[in-house]
Structure 1
Amino acid sequence: MNTTHEHAPNLFARIGIRTLAVLGEMGAMFLFLLHGLWHIFTSPKQLRKIVYQMYFIGSKSLLVICLIGLFTGMVLGLQGYYTLIKFGSEGLLGTAVALSLIRELGPVLTAIMVTGRAGSSMAAEIGVMRITDQIDALEVMDINPISYLVSPRIAASILCFPLLTAVFDVIGIIGGYLTGVAMLGINSGIYFYRIESSVVMSDVAEGFTKALLFGVIVATVSCYQGYYTHMRKDGVGPEGVSNSTTSAVVMSCVLILVTDYIVTSFLL
């Protein structure tokens, strides 16, 4: 009996310690984000670095975004058709595909794919710079590492994520058209008419709002994990970089889904 009573406080203490640690890290990431945003506007010669990061985050992700968008739209068209036909409403396929992509799947899948391609790369690159003392060298040369490494990536993510989401949505709608119209025989005029009549500006604004938030989340988490690789307790050196990259991808994906739920709850 005494053993049981002794273990209970220890369990709650561990939960409390872990919770405080998570909250502390979230607060540190928020301050890290504010620091990065500040240097976007106060540091000189940011434009060239931002353009390069837009090329890396946006242009290099375009192919995978188009592929995922196309097949997502085709799957939505296929599943939506066989669901709607049970109710005699297959003419609403355009509405189902467009709203699903624009409000939910477009921004979420775009953010997750860019996290896997660009977010992991950001965390690994900055992490390697940390363990090889390149960030310390920047400080010695009186170059602010946040301004040089983090701010351009945050700015580029804020600009690229909505654009990539828009591309994903358009390609996905085309994928739904290929399945619903070309393969299953739905009238093409009805497909596009339903999209035009059902999609309103608030739907597009909701998708872009999510994309902006996801861009901030991915850039902040990835850069933060890489920047503080040397302070990790689960590994040092290359192992620390590996763990930082894994943590960046996992944490970004979790925060994307949590943020998606919160934003959807407020905007519905």
Structure 2
Amino acid sequence: MSLIHPTAIVDPAAVLDATVSVGPYAVIGPHVRIGAGTRVGPHCVIEGRTTIGRDNVFYQFGSIGAMPQDMSHKGELTELHIGDRNTIREFCTLNTGTHKEEGITRVGSDNWIMAYVHVAHDVRLGDRTVLANGVTLAGHVRVGDWAVVGGLSGVHQFVHIGAHAMIGFQAHVSQDVPPYMVAEGNPMALRAVNLTGLKRRDFTPAQIAAIRDMHKALYRKGQTLELAKAEIEAMRGDDARVNGDIDAMLGFIASGTRGLVR
């Protein structure tokens, strides 16, 4: 309890590991569970049925676990789950889920979430993502591992952003962005393969070559999506990592509901 500032209000029913620190004037609600080593900054409010893993850092003035901003929500018991080692900067808002899905908003681990980011109800945020200042994820958005979303970008509800994708500054993301690609603008356009990101993450030359071929099939040949998918399927060979990237691309296309940006 020595790690909890005397001005903080922590409900007796909340479950905090003994190593959790809570800053001045923070408020922790009764249904909150927080894992070892997590730090809660001054004036941060964590409420609702919120479960937080270990070694996270919440900066000052965050609103974590509040009810969803969904007019159809009638007070159903929904949840927010946050993984481990996330950094969540000032003035971020992360809401619980709705009854429209499983009732849980999910944030993975090792994410870098910058100031004024909004993570809406039923979002699925993967691992090792970067959400720059002012990013807004609407309800039911999916963001894959290692994705980067540029500052002041808005992501339309139900949009999927693939793993290792990059969204440029101030983008209007109204359609799905495939894995490994760079998109930007308003209206949004697909620009190129995220070569810099792939090289930093030790993708092999064979993987990068295959991803560039997938980009050409989808965006450079003027063919229908069905023909592009067939061409990507035909790229399979003996390299398990390349085949895994092909699986990721085709699986992403199959899972979307908003249609690919093209």
> Fold conserved (TM > 0.5)?
no
Answer 1 or 2: which has greater strand percent.
Answer: 2
Larger CA Rg, structure 1 vs 2: 1
Larger RCO: 1 or 2 (CA < 8 Å, sep 6+)? 1
Higher helix share: 1
TMscore range, shorter length:
under 0.3
After TM superposition, the score normalised by the length of structure 1 is 0.19
